[in-house]
Amino acid sequence: MLAALVDGVPYVAWLGVRFDRRGDELTAVLPFAERLIGNPMLPALHGGVTAAFLETAAIVGLTWTALWDDMEAGRLAPDLGRPDSLPRLPKTIDFTVDYLRSGLPRDSYARSRIVRMGRRFASVQVEAWQDNRDRPFAHATGHFVMPQG
């Protein structure tokens, strides 16, 4: 189901973002590719790629958390062959990225933390790192409208 959520957004699929699930913990993975470099002189990841990666991690993490109980109980079983059976994603209200250092030409990882999730609104923080989780290269805060129905 995670792959279907990600592959349904063409730009995210082009980035190559995937998710690693360990129990109820979800880590977004952005495998390095040359096309993701914004400044070849450094080289460094493009800022737009970093922002899209963080926003994707926040939206998928939020969706996963909202659906976790229903999926575990078997009340929700989307058919990957029918896109209309996939859950609707939250819509971004605002998303603020803090670039702490350059993203280097290597794989990147991100995890989101839900600050508040109600029926209509959610607030999420997300951070991205590469080699050392204690040294994030970017973090962000986003607010989202939750899908209804």
pLDDT confidence band for 145 (50 / 70 / 90): very high
pLDDT at 74: 63
Cα radius of gyration rounded to whole Å, the chain:
15
β-sheet bridge partners, residue 37 = 45
pTM for the full predicted model: 0.90
Take residue 82 and report the two structure tokens written for it.
Answer: 């029918």
- What's the mean pLDDT when you consider all of the chain? 89
| pLDDT per position as a tens digit, 100-133 | 999 999 999 999 999 999 999 999 999 999 999 9
Higher pLDDT, 80 or 121: 121
Confidence check: pLDDT of 75 > 90: no
